[in-house]
Structure 1
Amino acid sequence: MSGILSIHNLKKAVPFILHFALTILVAFVTLYLIDSRSGDRIYNLNHRQPHFTDLDGGKTTAGLNSYRLLQSDITTALSIAASATRAAAACWAGKLLWRCAFMFMEKGEITIAGFSKVVDGGITTLLWPRDVANRKNVFLVYLIIFTCFGMDYFSSILTGSVTWQPTFILVDGFIPVGNIKEGEAGQNIATYRNDPVIVSNTIESGAALSLVSWGNLNTNSSYLTLPSNLTRRPIIQYAETQTIQYLPINSTLDTIRLPYFKVNNFEYITDPEAVLSSQQKSLLNDSSIYNPYITDQGLAAFLPDASWGPGSSPNLPDPTNVSESRILSIRVLSPTNPDCTSPYPDYYIPSNVSFYLTLTNNSTRYSCFAFANVTYTAGGAVCQNCKIVSPAVVEGNIEDENLQLVPDPLTIEALAIAPSVGTHTLLTVFSALTTDISTPVNSIAIEFVSRAYQSAWSSLVLTIGSVGPNNATGVAFALPASHPTVTRWRVYIWTGLQLALLLCGVAFAYWQSHFRHPWFSDPTMIAFQLDTAGLFQQDAVADPKDPWHPDAEYPTGKLRLEDYDHQRPGQPRAVTLIQRNVKQTEVADVETKPSDP
């Protein structure tokens, strides 16, 4: 059968099949193997088997289970795949102009000059209708030229479809973090109790640790959704045993104790004048140095039973959790006049909540307080695989399953000094709460007292804690890596262009199958197998010269590719001139019969 295509054997079809197969394969690999929508495709950055500095300062190589390809391996492979697809297309597309020239020659529609321009195929080629008989042929030639030219730039569409996002891999370290302090039940803390300077230093240390844990300059604390449900602890070690600094951000600790504070219920007191006792109201004006509201300071604090400040027991109590309901005072306004009219919208604080007006000790402005009954739970927590979120700071989420509430001997004392610690943190501007304008007062207050408790607990660990039996924990180092995200529409465009190009090639092959000359594999070699003696007959040009001479003129007229002469077996096909006019050097626009020789 003549067949749908003249490419009737595998040898002729290989370039098209290879181009199609590579296009589909590369698109599939990019979309389904490289793409990391689930985030599980992770590649190393610098070493296929990562290197890191362990806690003893020594350089260590991770185990074989951490072996991964590099990001550069993927980008290189993708570039090679795109180039291979382009090369497969070039196997058949690069010969289209030669084939096109022979097709024009079979129809007698191309001059020698036109043949030269067509097979040259340069992007700057100036081809005229007189060179190839009509504008339709000119359009076809330029279509092939620009298609082949544009094909060279398809690859950038594919390689540019992959973007890389920073991520990390976890690699187990060989040396644990040690000398981690914690509270010890029954420990004598008489020195702390009897020395107000130590207590004051502990409070100030709590504010400093709040800056370490929540400072906006070196943590991700800005504009968290409040309440955040996060708990953080800075790990402070003795100077001679510091190892925590070797842990990169996002590293994890196998097991670590953290402070725990969770608000279970928050209910505004709408009429504080009627609900609060005179003793509770007087706490706001207390002259104690531990009063969080003196000298125009403070934001929120739980009202104590008797007085502000630390407890009195000379020993740390047994580990305990505190779960109770207590009145939370919130300083919402600081007017210069005794006027507590609320300027806030309902979403910020309900309009039915009345404010309590007072003038706190050593203050120059009035204070307007809102109050709420708050049920909370405070204690310690054991966190497994908790993350390092900033230098030496461990973070857990009280809602996560890997964090479990446990009794802690520092709970009561941390609650006692938390109001003072919270006020001192306000003086460190960089650890102040930064929130969205739509965040209501209750969320801000809950986050504030939670951070105050965490900072107080962490400071007490540093001041009166000790290195106990659970002072060491294993670590997993977070090493930099990257994961790819594929812009799928770019892959679709690249695939569509390749398939459109392939379809054009198949259509061209089908069109060529209607011509008399066969589909030859190497058009440039076929040019050597033509009988061109008839082109350079006597009087073909006005000033005949050696055809290789730079100034030699082309014979006028159009070329005609004759059929194979079966009467002359093995002889090349002849090429002759038609419409020859020896007095002109260009092809006539109107076809005439060739003159007799």
Structure 2
Amino acid sequence: MPDSKDSAAHSYAPVSSSEKTGADAQTIEPNPKEPASVSSRLHTTYLFPILHILWCILLVLCMVFLLDGYHAILPDAARYVDGQLRLRVSDVTTIISVALVVTRLLVGAWVGVILWNIVFILLETSGLRLTEITLTFTYKVLPWHAIRGNKSGLFVVALLLLVIPQPLIGPLISGAVDWDVGFQYSSDLAQAQAGCPGASPLLWFWYYYSSEDRRSYVRRAAAYASIAWDGTTIDKGHCRHIMNDDGFPVNSSIRDATIPCLRINSIAFPTEYPPDDVFQIVNHSVHATIYEDDLTRVKDPPLSYGIDGNASDNAFLMDVPSAYLHTGIFHAVVLINGTVSLNGNNCTDLKESIFGMKKFNNIFTPNERGNYYRCFTYAVVNLTAGVVKSPESTYISSRVIQGDATDSELHIEAAPWVQEAMYLMPDVMSVFSMMNSSSLPTWNNLEDYVTRLIRYSYQGSWDMLSRSFEPDDNLLSVRRYEQRQVAQVSHPRVFGWLGVSLALTLSWVLLVLGQKYSSRKIVEDGPVAALVTNCSPLLDSAEKELTNISSASEAKGEKKIKLLRERVGRYSLNWTD
């Protein structure tokens, strides 16, 4: 074992290039196959940091330019959309995880190279105990005595600080992807039949000539209005239409559909008493005679709800109505309260009503023969009713479409069934208002209530007529709306991760530039370099047998080990104080 003087003689000192060259010339024959420069070792020493930085840049570019804004399919959606494979959120998460595993493998390989070089530098300069070598490899903890007060200590600390964060920054990029709700229209157009497959012109004759047949159609029209205006979507003045239930997703787009449309030009509640003709219509509506029928409590045979009269037994065909456009004045009468006592004030001062108002501008009572006053008000409505050709319409449910433009933005045209829809509309309004399936608000909302009731009832009436009596085999183009989960990549987090990853590249540069702190070459394969290092002086002078130890703790109490250069290209391990 060398004494303290010998140890001092082998303490770290930078080796000049002239010394290396001279010693090599004296002791070793030149080997033409041995690498002679830094550039010649590019494929070995620098392989891992080069692959690492290229891989990191590739991952960042993919996330920023390919993943950001990507429309992933829902878990229950088909894998192939429009002939292309689409990924789910779980697929994207898996791909990012695999990319990070590859990154960790490259980082782990390079960290091993750095740690072996740190150990060899510290062995050559200040020396290390066996337990300190274990701490360095296992916990990345450097002994204080080895890094204190010398440049090589600062050098190895800088190397360690550059590589230690690398295995810990994975969550920074794996958590950089948020998912928002979005959609995407299919590139392939689907087809939807414009008319109802069950429509039959034979039924029109019996509807027109038989009031019994018309009863069920009134209920059907009210049902269509309830389907179109069920209160689940906001009414912003757009026109709606009932389509076949073809299973198209909500928000799908359909082109050039014919939609019934009624525009309210103005509405006013006059202060004067209603005209006599309006009064008589109301009076007769209240006191109409109903024939007795033992099968029903409401004087309406129950089975008639689902029977279209006797039209199916006949083959008489009548032409459909000609095109018609209704525009002009319409009187709407509204029942405010139907149970006002005859001993009261004859509707002049109501105590309660569903509209929240106690006084109305033109309230009146028809001729009363029962036990209560029925209090009404009326409005004068200027309207235009027809159909519109909507360039683009949207499915708001599986069978209801809504024009993308409001009724004021589209030209209302004449069409068949418009006049009959206007004739039928008062009956539909009465049934629809009693159903109240659309949740029309009434409280302090009389004008808007009347406006919407007219519009909704007209739509239900026209849809019922066209879908019952007019076959239409024309096919309309539909763009399917596919719900998606849209990736939102946080650019600051992604580029922050790339910035921290560049520290590994800096450790490579620093290691190359710091070769002057060691008399030997950069250690590329640490285990092999350690295995072939001469340990005879170390083992021969050890107080304990070291060739059979299983852990560094068994060598506790031993002195520090130092790497000594016997000559250029030959090194040995020995004990030092």
Fold match by TM threshold 0.5: yes
Task: Note the C-alpha offset of 1:401.
Answer: 12
Give the structure 2 partner of residue 591 of structure 1.
Answer: none
In structure 2, the CA distance between the partners of 1:232 and 1:178, relative to structure 1 (3 Å rule), is closer
Q: Quick one: percent identity of the two aligned structures?
A: 15
In structure 2, the CA distance between the partners of 1:105 and 1:248, relative to structure 1 (3 Å rule), is same
In structure 2, the CA distance between the partners of 1:101 and 1:359, relative to structure 1 (3 Å rule), is farther
Q: Which shifted more, 18-27 or 109-118? A: 18-27
Is the contact between residue 183 and residue 461 of structure 1 (CA under 8 Å) also seen in structure 2? no
Q: Which shifted more, 204-213 or 514-523? A: 514-523
Give the structure 2 partner of residue 30 of structure 1.
Answer: 63
In structure 2, which of residues 521, 528, 531 is the aligned counterpart of residue 528 of structure 1?
A: 531
Give the structure 1 partner of residue 506 of structure 2.
Answer: 506
Amino acid at match of 1:319: A
5 Å matches for 1:394-413?
Answer: 394-399=401-406, 405-413=412-420
5 Å matches for 1:319-330?
Answer: 319-329=323-333
> What is the distance in 2 between the residues matched to 1:529 and 1:68?
57
Gaps of 5+ in 2: 1-15, 18-36, 290-317
Is the contact between residue 111 and residue 132 of structure 1 (CA under 8 Å) also seen in structure 2? no
Gaps of 5+ in 1: 51-65, 216-220, 236-243, 292-313, 580-597
> What is the distance in 2 between the residues matched to 1:402 and 1:79?
52
5 Å matches for 1:364-513?
Answer: 367=375, 369=377, 371=379, 373-383=380-390, 386-399=393-406, 405-433=412-440, 442-463=447-468, 465-467=469-471, 470-476=472-478, 478=480, 480=482, 482-486=484-488, 488-489=489-490, 491-503=491-503, 506-507=506-507, 509-510=509-510, 513=513
5 Å matches for 1:497-576?
Answer: 497-503=497-503, 506-507=506-507, 509-510=509-510, 513-514=513-514, 515-516=517-518, 517-538=520-541, 540-541=542-543, 543-544=544-545, 546-548=547-549, 552-554=554-556, 556-562=558-564, 564-565=565-566, 568-571=567-570, 573-576=571-574
Task: Note the C-alpha offset of 1:441.
Answer: 5.2
Length-normalised TM-score, structure 2: 0.69
Is the contact between residue 242 and residue 463 of structure 2 (CA under 8 Å) also seen in structure 1? yes
> What is the distance in 2 between the residues matched to 1:443 and 1:276?
20
Q: Does 1:355 align with 2:370?
A: no
Task: Note the C-alpha offset of 1:453.
Answer: 0.6
Is the contact between residue 329 and residue 369 of structure 1 (CA under 8 Å) also seen in structure 2? yes
Q: Which shifted more, 413-422 or 374-383? A: 374-383
Amino acid at match of 2:420: E
Is the contact between residue 178 and residue 472 of structure 1 (CA under 8 Å) also seen in structure 2? yes
Task: Note the C-alpha offset of 1:118.
Answer: 1.7
> What is the distance in 1 between the residues matched to 2:130 and 2:568?
27
Is the contact between residue 162 and residue 507 of structure 2 (CA under 8 Å) also seen in structure 1? no
1:357 aligns to what SS in structure 2? Answer: coil
Highest RCO, 1 vs 2 (Cα 8 Å, sep ≥ 6): 2
Is the contact between residue 217 and residue 464 of structure 2 (CA under 8 Å) also seen in structure 1? yes
In structure 2, the CA distance between the partners of 1:34 and 1:330, relative to structure 1 (3 Å rule), is farther
CA-to-partner distance for each residue in 1:467-488, whole Å, 9 max, x for gaps? Answer: 2xx42315547374635231x3
In structure 2, which of residues 212, 216, 222 is the aligned counterpart of residue 197 of structure 1?
A: 212
> What is the distance in 2 between the residues matched to 1:157 and 1:7?
39
Give the structure 2 partner of residue 233 of structure 1.
Answer: 242
Is the contact between residue 332 and residue 370 of structure 1 (CA under 8 Å) also seen in structure 2? no
In structure 2, the CA distance between the partners of 1:261 and 1:193, relative to structure 1 (3 Å rule), is same
> What is the distance in 2 between the residues matched to 1:273 and 1:402?
32
Higher helix residue share? 2
Q: Would you say how many aligned residue pairs link Structure 1 and Structure 2?
A: 493
In structure 2, the CA distance between the partners of 1:267 and 1:192, relative to structure 1 (3 Å rule), is closer
Length-normalised TM-score, structure 1: 0.67
> What is the distance in 2 between the residues matched to 1:228 and 1:290?
35
Give the structure 1 partner of residue 301 of structure 2.
Answer: none
Structure (1 or 2) with the larger CA radius of gyration? 2
Aligned-residue Cα RMSD (Å) equals 4.8
> What is the distance in 2 between the residues matched to 1:223 and 1:13?
63
